[in-house]
Each structure stands twice: as C-alpha cells, then as structure tokens.
Amino acid sequence: MPMILPARQFGALRLADVLTSSLAALAGKQNVFSLPPVEKAVVVLADGLGVSAIKARAGHARFLATRLTKSAVIEGVFPATTVAGIASLTTGVQPGQHGLVGYKVRDADNDRVVNQLSGWDEGMQPATWQRATTVFERSAAVGVPSFAIGPKRFYGSGFSQAALRGATYLSAESIADRFAMARRVLDTTPRALIYLYVAELDIAAHAFGWESPKWLAQLEILDGELARFESGLGATEGLLVTADHGVIDVPSTKHILFDTVPSLVAHVRHIGGDPRCLHLYLEAGLADGAADVLAECWRDTEADRAWVFTRDEAIEAGLFGPVADEVRPRIGDVIVAARKLVAYYDSRETNQAPRSMVGQHGSLTDEEVRIPLIRAGAFAV
C-alpha cells in the first residue's frame, strides 16, 4: 500500500517565526509577521491552546475569540508536542534543526529512549543536545535583555536550559502573578523581550480533557488576565499570544494496544514519541528495507486510523523541516501519526499510568497543529 500523505500541508506562517519576528520588531527590522517597531515585546505561550478550542469556547474567551481572525491562525510544528513546539519558538528553527523531534526519542549513543521534558542527565546535555542558538541569545547579542517567566518548578530544568538559554528566568506561580511580573519588567526595563509561559490549560487537558469544566476555568482565567494586561500596555509595547499545539480528547475506548499485533512490533527495539505520534526504532543490524517492511505492516493494519512514514519519507515530506545529520537517528525508523480519534499504547509497559490521560496531542490533524497568533498592544496596529 503506498504512503498516504496528510490532506493538509504546513502553511507559510509558522510558530518558529513568532519570537524571531518579535526580536526583529525590537530592532526596527522587517519580519515575517510585519510587526511594527516597538521598544518592548511580550510573547505569551499558552500550552495546549489550539484554534479549534478557542472557537468552540468563544463565549468564555472574549479577548481571544474576538481577535481570532483568519490572519490570526498559524501553524505549529510536527510532532505537535511541547518540547518540539517550544524549542521551535525559542530558536526560530524547525525540529529537524534544533533536534528536539519528539516527547521521547532515541539517544543512539547510549542505546536508550530519553524523555526530553524530564529525562535530562549527564548523557544528554542541554547545551549540546539542543543544537540551535536561541532567540534569547541573539537578543543579548544586540543589547536587548530577555526574560522567561514561568513557574518556579521549571527553573533550571534540563528542558529550560535547552530551550530558554540566554534569558533571565523569573519565577511566578499563578497566571496572574506571571502577568504582574511581566508588567514589572516592562515598567523597569527600557527595552525587553519577554516570554511568558502558561502551563495550566495543557495540565488540565491531560488530566480532564479540554472539554472539561476544569479546562474551561483555566481558559477563563487566562482570557481575563490577557484583557487586563492589554489594557495597561503602552504605545511602544507589543503583545503576542500563541500556543505550541492544540489538544484532542481521546476516550479510553479509543486506545489501541498495538503490541497485541506481533507484526507491528517485530524487530522494534525502542518505542518513543507520544501516543498520537509514535517513533518506532528498529534493532541494529537488520537488512536494508526493514523500515519499509515495518511501515507496510502498520499500513496494512492502521492506514484508516493513522499516517505511517518511514524516516526517509517523513524527512522527504518536510515534516521536521530540514534535518541535520546529527538529528536523523533521533527520528523513528517508522513514525505512526494518528489521523482518527485514537491513541496508541504498548500494553507491555510496566507503567500504564499515562493511559489515564484524556487530552492528547502529537499528530498532524488541524486540531493539533493549528494555533493562534493573537496580536495586541502595539502589535495590533
């Protein structure tokens, strides 16, 4: 069966251009989003806030919904997962260049799968594993101080060191406290680039689903804080609101235990990625074409529910952007990206707690990839 490419292709306006365009605006230079010159720029990333969810809950998010015009919809990254999305925002390049190509990926040098959110150790150094210069480092080079505002628990983490290096990290626990911190920086710094991270929606979505009252409550809090923050912006202060990915609620009845079909795990040594975007890594020393054989087995079984790519097919299709040689082994020999409302799990795993997650993301559907770019303050001009 031939490879079935996704019906939608990535658009020209991407998450990777948001922070770089903000820095360009601070320098008075032209940029992808045609942002006007400013003295201070704030970029808010709401983890897990897809366009489809804003539209569906427009009555509870008037600030966001009234500004969600056709031009305020941009594309995230593949896979539609936090490490890939945030790293693309903060470096300005696609996952194939910065190297964070999935939630869990193969560390070939140590023959293991590593969690790029929480699994950093001496074998995976943030300064080298994430390969690209950050926008914050580039900002410092042109004399513009940069700040990352988020919960204290993320300060100094491996992922923060990889994605946020070059920025001064400022801890603030609640969403309101983070916006208050951003206002203080604006009031005390002549020029500034500020990244403000909101984790609460993604946390609520994973635990309860984006259609739950818990998620809706967090959306209302964020929307209210955005409205208040915008009202205090000065004439040379710009605000952008975006996301790393959207979320789909997947009921437990739609979990696919793929290991129960032996051909789908034959010669698979490691399994990485997300439940909606598997990276399958084959054993070493197999004959040429082994990835094609495995991919064909998956297509025979799952073509109606997933897009299946070999590594070479995914790279040729441009899913990861240009891919550095160093990054290629981190991408699965075979990638399985859910196209229907399903999530793929391995029942052999000793830890089955992840199966309690309701909200899921990682794949190529519009719900997961289409994200907002809301402009406010000086950027609304």
Cα–Cα dist 207/75, whole Å: 25
Per-residue pLDDT at 8: 52
CATH topology of domain 15-100+121-247+364-380: Alkaline Phosphatase, subunit A (3.40.720)
Residue with tokens 């795990």: 265
Strand partners, 248: 360
Task: Kindly list the domain boundaries of the chain, sorted by start residue.
Answer: 15-100+121-247+364-380, 252-360
Q: Would you say 214 and 17 are in contact if contact means Cβ atoms under 8 Å apart? A: no
Cα–Cα dist 241/197, whole Å: 10
Cα–Cα dist 143/146, whole Å: 9
Characterize the bridge pairing of strands 40-46 and 192-198: parallel
Per-residue pLDDT at 1: 45
Cα–Cα dist 109/355, whole Å: 29
Per-residue pLDDT at 7: 44
* Residue spans of the chain under pLDDT 50: 1-2, 7
The pTM (predicted TM-score) of the whole model is 0.96
Say whether 252-360 and 15-100+121-247+364-380 share the same fold: no
Number of CB atoms found within 10 A of residue 30's CB: 10
Cα–Cα dist 329/343, whole Å: 24
CATH number of 252-360: 3.30.1360.180
DSSP 150-203: E-GGGTT-HHHHHHSTTSEEEE--SHHHHHHHHHHHHHH-SSEEEEEEE-HHHH
Q: Would you say 145 and 191 are in contact if contact means Cβ atoms under 8 Å apart? A: yes
Helix axes 175-188, 213-231, angle to 10 degrees: 20
Q: Would you say 345 and 115 are in contact if contact means Cβ atoms under 8 Å apart? A: no
pLDDT in tens, 180-233: 999 999 999 999 999 999 999 999 999 999 999 999 999 999 999 999 999 999
